[in-house]
Amino acid sequence: MLNIRLKLKYEKSEVVQLIFLLCSISVFC
């Protein structure tokens, strides 16, 4: 159960990083 939660947290942070990358490249925000 903890592993799944950690994995979700990790994937969430990956998505956030991707959004930040898009923001820096173009005017997405």
- As a three-state string, the secondary structure of 1-29 is CHHHHHHHHHHHHHHHHHHHHHHHHCCCC
pLDDT at 21 exceeding the cut of 80: yes
Domain of residue 6 covers: 1-28
Q: Mean pLDDT, to the nearest integer, of 3-17?
A: 82
Residue 29: its pLDDT value, please?
A: 56
Residue 28: its pLDDT value, please?
A: 57
pTM (predicted TM-score): 0.48
pLDDT > 90 fraction of the chain, expressed in percent and rounded: 0
> How many domains does the structure of the chain reveal?
1
